[in-house]
Structure 1
Amino acid sequence: MDKLAALIAFAEVAKTGSFTRAGNALALGPSAVTKKIAALEQWLGIRVLQRNTHGVALTDDGQLCLDIAQKVLQSVDELEQAVALRRAQPAGQVRIGMPYAMGQLYLAPMLSEFLSKNPELVLDVQYSDEVPDILEQRLDVVVHIGEPRDSRVIAKPLAKSRRVTCASPAYLNAHGVPRAVGDLQQHERIALLINGRVRPWTFKQGQSVIAVPPQGKLTVNSGVALRQAALAGVGLIQCNSILVAPDLASGALLPVLDDCSVESEGLYAVFLENRRMVPRVRVTVDLLEKIFLPYRHGTSGAAAVLPRQ
């Protein structure tokens, strides 16, 4: 029995709640995953999973096993990193977590060149608008909007940003340009749903910051969909300026109420403290710094450009 493989399979089933999804993540068939879990249970003499109407769930013994298994797998990662530190060439797998739209716009165009320069690296890029848990999901680097409140990690600043309100020229030509925050009542405001909650729009008003609910006919749950809806002329959006910087630079989107805009959360490269000197992590963070260099001191529509492809 390959005990390490069994622990990896168990941790993946616990994370995904499905033998099929775990098998897809591990490039194994569901039956192979089932056999590994059965071997694990036989080895330990306990039942770690039970089936229910929604898939599979941890037993009490399974939760204890998972807590320890995650520590074991982290130790294995640390062993791999210690060996990698002795190698001059960055090598091995790098697991990156990144907001979907940021990944599409900024990271994806740079991947071919990056992998050519680092032929011994294998990238696993996980795009999601949900905030990932770097430890639970065993990620090496996470691109995080806002400085994380986690003592386990190092957060390296990548870029500054602001909240920008914008729309397509076609929408503004058809519906007019809002000149004051109160004018937004007459406009279609596309809402962004984050972690189950609609994010309010914020504006400066004198020395204060006010929140305005983005009431309209459309709500989306991803930055990609938000940007696409604005480009399609559905209505106004408010978002992190880095998300639409290339569109503001090209004129595909036009900013409104700029004199009322407020600062937004910065962009950070986040990684565990014990991995800061691992070559594969270091070169990945270097890549992210290069990508977001134009926005290090903030964004402006006139100066923003896409990374070189």
Structure 2
Amino acid sequence: MAVSAAQSDKVDISGSLRVAAPKALSKQVLMPMILEFTEQNPKVSLQLKVTDHLIDPIGDEVDIFIHITEKPIEGLISKHLGHCRLILCASPSYLESFGQPSHPEDLVDHNCLCLGESPRDRVWSFRQGNQSVPVNVKGSLTVNHSEIRREAVTQGQGISIFPDFAISSHLESNEVVELLQNWQVTGKYQGDIIAQYAQSKYITSQLRAFIDFLTACFDS
């Protein structure tokens, strides 16, 4: 999604810029954008803090943080960049061996690969209209790393849930199949992709340039 901006009439941007963002989003979406931004603005010293914990732009000493949320933090300026939804999927080989669930409750009979960051990660929730269905799942692998779980899924080891940006190319190549498409997977790590920063009368040129650059990347 990275874009190239014309350099001839651009103001020379310099200074430090401290950015925070979640791990998976940083590696799989933001990294090429950040690398292009630093290449285009070599006088900007950009520090990226990769963390899945909630960031306080003031207390954590960052200028801007990017996160996926359905509820932006009040009192901060927000810039909407994009949207992310959760996708339930499995490989064709797994489905051929174990069948395809037709209802969320069918997942109790499947090998479900969980995130495992909290006990609630073993409860997968689905919504269809006014109906909400929580399902207690179990599986042979629990790992809080989307790329490891994705590798296990593509190898036919089970069913798992991913943010769309982490699995979209594998869906397009038919390595995995989206399941229960009539149901919405609910839970964390989905919603709007938002950049937030502290309110101030003065926004540095490097922060403004970075926000504009990200916006153009996500819009392209």
Q: Above 0.5 in TM-score?
A: yes
Task: State the partner residue of 2:38.
Answer: 115
The reply on whether 1:283 has 2:209 as its aligned counterpart is yes
Match of 1:270 in 2: 196
SS of 2:191 mapped into structure 1 = coil
The answer (yes or no) to whether the contact 2:72–2:78 under 8 Å persists in 1 is no
> Contact conserved, 1:148 with 1:155, CA < 8 A, in 2?
no
Can you list the C-alpha shifts for 1:204-253, whole angstroms capped at 9, x where unaligned? 24522222233222222233433333334331112332332232223232
CA distance in 2, matches of 1:261, 1:254: 15
Paired residue for 2:138, among 182, 202, 215?
215
Residues 43-100 of structure 1, C-alpha deviation per residue, up to 9 Å, x if partnerless?
Answer: xxxxxxxxxxxxxxxxxxxxxxxxxxxxxxxxxxxxxxxxxxxxx4321222111111
TM-score by length of 2: 0.80
- Residue by residue, what CA displacement relative to the aligned partner does 1:122-149 show, whole Å, maximum 9, x if unpaired? 1211222223332222111211110455
Trace 1:1-309 onto structure 2 (pairs within 5 A). Answer: 88-148=11-71, 150-194=73-117, 196-199=118-121, 200-262=123-185, 264-274=190-200, 277-293=203-219
* Secondary structure, counterpart of 1:154 in structure 2: strand
Total equivalences in the alignment: 206
CA distance in 2, matches of 1:128, 1:163: 20
CA distance in 2, matches of 1:111, 1:170: 37
Distance 1:230 1:105 in 2: 18
What percent of counterpart residues are identical? 28
Structure 1: which 5+ runs fail to align?
Answer: 1-87, 295-309
Partner Cα separation in structure 2 for residue 244 and residue 276 of structure 1: 39
Matched to 1:291, the amino acid is: C
Is 1:141–1:285's contact at 8 Å kept on the other side of the alignment? no
Amino acid at match of 1:165: L
- Measured in 1, the distance between the counterparts of 2:203 and 2:18 equals 16
Aligned residues of 1:230 and 1:237 also touching (Cα < 8 A):
yes
**Which sits farther off after the overlay, 253-262 or 162-171?**
162-171
Distance 1:203 1:142 in 2: 29
Shift in Å, 1:120: 0.9
Unaligned residue ranges in structure 2 (runs of 5+): 1-10
Structure 2 Cα separation of the partners of residues 132 and 164 of structure 1 = 26
Higher strand proportion (structure 1 or 2): 2
Which structure has more helix as a fraction of its residues? 1
The separation in 1 between residues aligned to 2:62 and 2:33, in whole angstroms, is: 20
Partner of 1:298: none
Aligned partner of 2:120: which letter?
V
Alpha-carbon spacing, 1:261–1:147, altered in 2? closer, same or farther (3 Å): closer
- Cα displacement (A) at 1:121: 0.9
Tell which structure's C-alpha radius of gyration is larger.
1
* Structure 2 residue matching 1:145: 3-state secondary structure: strand
Greater RCO between the two (CA within 8 Å, min separation 6)?
A: 2
* Cα separation, 1, equivalents of 2:39 and 2:139: 46
Give, in whole Å, the separation in 2 of the partners of 1:275 and 1:226: 44
Q: In 2, are the aligned partners of 1:189 and 1:237 still within 8 Å (CA)?
A: yes
